[in-house]
């Protein structure tokens, strides 16, 4: 690998591991009765304590350090005094910015005991991300990524959100290319060694359509069906990829 790629991988590895470790901490506190603001506070402090910044804070006017998306919220839920209840599902999305580079990751958390249909949605969404990661290597088409995700989740009767996508990431939070979570094999750009991007499928039990609430951020399913999401930041190599945002637990 050339030295530019080596440097970008090294820096993203550090930012990514801070982001992943923040979510490992979230896992320890999520339970019925806590507020989404308390998750935000933990992420803010953990990321700062590790010499990094929370990239979402003030990004395009976003008011908090992470996104907390509960039940039918698809993404970009804004932490608040909202109290989590038994049976809720929540996605927490964090991005650490350290030494000029970003690491972006999100996971689902279960609040107490959750319904089996929510468990199945979460499981299938996670599998779709990991299946996409498994096919990554130099010269894979972008369309192959979307196709793997779409085929896996549609086999369960779920739908892929189309209004939000994965993205290149590096010195900028969001950059080229756009990573669609649906598509056709063999179409689109071929990925190259050294590319760093996120894959972050949002999967709904019902229809794929979303709308944005009046706060200008919170995206929800139009039909109010449950939605789940997982996100990793990955770097492409000749033989495969490196996942920069793996959990340590
Ligand atoms: N972390 C989100 C992503 O995966 C972006 C959040 S932007 C914010 O791309 F402003 F909503 F925080
Ligand atoms: Co992202
Ligand atoms: Co994210």
- Tell me the CA–centroid distance for residue 105 and ligand 2, in Å: 7
pLDDT value, residue 208: 98
Protein residues within 5 Å, CB atom, of ion ligand 2: 104, 198
**CB of 56 sitting under 6 A from ligand 1:** yes
Instruction: List, for residues 99-121, the tens digit of each pLDDT value.
Output: 999 999 999 999 999 999 999 99
Q: Whose CA is nearest to atom 2 of ligand 1?
A: 93
**CB of 93 sitting under 6 A from ligand 1:** yes
pLDDT of 4 > 90? The answer is: yes
What span, in angstroms and rounded, lies between the C-alpha atoms of 218 and 92?
A: 13
Mutate to test the pocket of ligand 1, among 36, 93, 181 (most ligand atoms within 8 A of CB): 93
Instruction: List, for residues 40-94, the tens digit of each pLDDT value.
Output: 999 999 999 999 999 999 999 999 999 999 999 999 999 999 999 999 999 999 9
pLDDT value, residue 171: 98
Query: Tokens 């804070």 — which residue?
Result: 57
User: Within its chain, how far is the Cα of 82 from the centroid?
Assistant: 21
pLDDT of 1 > 90? The answer is: no
Q: What percent of the chain is predicted at pLDDT more than 70?
A: 100
pLDDT value, residue 131: 98
pLDDT value, residue 130: 98
Ligand 1 nearest atom to the CA of residue 59, by list position: 10
189 band by pLDDT with thresholds 50, 70 and 90: very high
pTM: 0.98
- Tell me the CA–centroid distance for residue 176 and ligand 2, in Å: 12
- Tell me the CA–centroid distance for residue 106 and ligand 3, in Å: 6
pLDDT value, residue 232: 99
- Tell me the CA–centroid distance for residue 207 and ligand 2, in Å: 22
């Amino acid at each position: 690998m050339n030295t530019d790629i080596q440097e970008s991988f090294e820096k993203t590895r550090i930012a990514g591991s801070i982001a992943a470790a923040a979510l490992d901490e979230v896992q320890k506190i999520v339970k019925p009765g806590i507020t989404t603001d308390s998750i935000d506070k933990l992420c803010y402090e953990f990321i700062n304590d590790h010499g990094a910044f929370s990239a979402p804070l003030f990004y395009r006017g976003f008011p908090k350090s992470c996104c907390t998306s509960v039940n039918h919220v698809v993404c970009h839920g804004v932490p608040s005094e909202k109290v989590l209840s038994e049976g809720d599902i929540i996605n927490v999305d964090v991005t650490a910015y350290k030494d000029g580079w970003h690491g972006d990751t999100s996971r689902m958390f279960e609040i107490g005991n959750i319904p089996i249909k929510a468990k199945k949605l979460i499981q299938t969404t996670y599998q779709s991300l990991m299946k996409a990661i498994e096919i990554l290597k130099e010269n894979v088409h972008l369309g192959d990524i979307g196709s793997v995700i779409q085929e896996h989740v549609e086999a369960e009767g779920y739908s892929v959100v189309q209004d939000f996508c994965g993205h290149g990431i590096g010195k900028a939070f969001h950059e080229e290319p756009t990573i669609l979570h649906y598509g056709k094999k063999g179409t689109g750009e071929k990925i190259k060694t050294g590319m760093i991007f996120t894959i972050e499928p949002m999967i709904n039990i019902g229809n794929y359509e979303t709308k944005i609430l009046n706060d200008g951020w919170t995206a929800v399913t139009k039909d109010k069906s449950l939605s789940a999401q997982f996100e990793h930041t990955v770097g492409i190599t000749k033989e495969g990829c490196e996942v920069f945002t793996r959990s340590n637990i």
